[in-house]
Amino acid sequence: MTFPTARRAVRSLIAVATLTAGLAAGTIGAHADDDPRVDEIRQILAQLKPLAKPPVCDQVPEPDRWEHVGTPDEGSDNVIISAHRGANTLAPENTLKSYEYAFAYGVDLVEVDVQQTKDGQFVALHDSTVDRTTNGTGNITDLTYDEVRALDAADYEPWKGGEYDPAQIASLEEILALAKRAGRGVELDIKASVTEEGKVADLVKKYGLIEESIFNTGDPRVFVSAPDARVIYNRSDWEPGFLIYEIGQIAKVFGSTLAEYTPESVAAAHDACAIVLPHAYDAGPDQEVAQFQLARSIGADGVQTNQPALIVAAAGEAVDSKIVRKRGNGHGDDRESGRKDDQVCLVNADNGFGFPGKTVHLAKGDDGKGIDLVTGDGGCADVPAGNLRGAKVSFAGDGAVHASTGRA
């Protein structure tokens, strides 16, 4: 939530937001208490405060550290990882597979761009139009839910013609159900098409995920629906420490780019019992681990990332895996009528979500000789025809996923 650009709030909030946005667009002024932007944000905080019921904060504020921190804070012991658009390098963005693969790596949240269709339904889509990532055209607000769901969400490079083509744009309810199954949360980036933020919060409540999730919006209707909701403040670099502390009384998550943060601003947020979750992808995929490490070095509690597997590994939070055997048609109780071949699948041991792109080794006998297979859709690989029934299957492990063994 960036208070100066809070959308579709009550009339007084809109008036305040318009004025403050104009100020923020101008030259950055002094960081003093008399900066007019400070007063405008305080006005918005005053109107949100009666609606919000955050948990009691037991931190003792140390204002001197907001100016000169000395030793930076230590971030959360358990690194908080939000997968930006899911695992969008493993499956097409806006599809259920992308979010599923992110949860396979045990991330705390998947970031979902929430749009509202012409007939009032909520779907995952970053852009305001369907042109870039589907075989359709047009604004999301001009299309019905059924029309959006009929589109091919893999009709763009590098996914077009691949194993995930065709794919379907995920509904918000599907993603929430997936998060519920994973026991994790959703970071909801609520886009301009959404006119009913309260209904979004109602859906998150329906799936029992308010505590686990966070909302990237400044609309007060989220608090009306869920007073204990966590909202994000996307900071700029001008806010003084005392204002960050005051904002943290309402917004319990601080986002935006890593460049906006210093150890001092992180300390101010922590003193308000808020967490700091900057982007770790602004310098590109090759720099995500370095950005994550920099964020942690100044006290950030976690990051939002395009590379959940790399960040899980860098955080030292590898997840357990297991080998699952799936029989094709006519091969026992677990046969699946739509599949001919036997399969072995590498999945998260806790939630059952698969890991694509992993190498598993099939071997018969004690000499270890055999064949390597690379997992695909669902973390599964077809077992070649031949005398491999009962072969030992092993995954050697990597920085993000622990080793495991099983039988074909």
Token pair for 315: 């955080």
Backbone angles phi, psi at 313, to 5 degrees: -65, -45
Which of 338, 356, 339 is CA-nearest to residue 347? 356
Cα dist. 19→3, 12, 405 in Å? 11, 11, 61
Task: Please state, in angstroms and rounded to a whole number, the distance separating the CA atoms of residues 199 and 101.
Answer: 27
Which residues in 343-366 are b (16+ Cβ under 10 Å) and which e?
Answer: bbbbbbeebbbbbbebebbbbbee
Report the amino acid identity of residue 167. A
Q: What is the arrangement of strands in the sheet containing 359-363, beginning at the earlier edge strand?
A: 370-374, 359-363, 392-395, 404-407
Q: Point out the catalytic residue in the list 31, 84, 279, 402.
A: 84
The sign of the CA dihedral 217, 221, 225, 228 is positive
Task: Please state, in angstroms and rounded to a whole number, the distance separating the CA atoms of residues 111 and 84.
Answer: 5
Contact 361, 330 (CB under 8 A): no
The question of whether 331 is a catalytic residue gets the answer no
Q: Point out the catalytic residue in the list 126, 270, 331, 361.
A: 126
Task: Please state, in angstroms and rounded to a whole number, the distance separating the CA atoms of residues 203 and 209.
Answer: 9
The question of whether 270 is a catalytic residue gets the answer no
Which positions are annotated as active-site residues?
84, 126
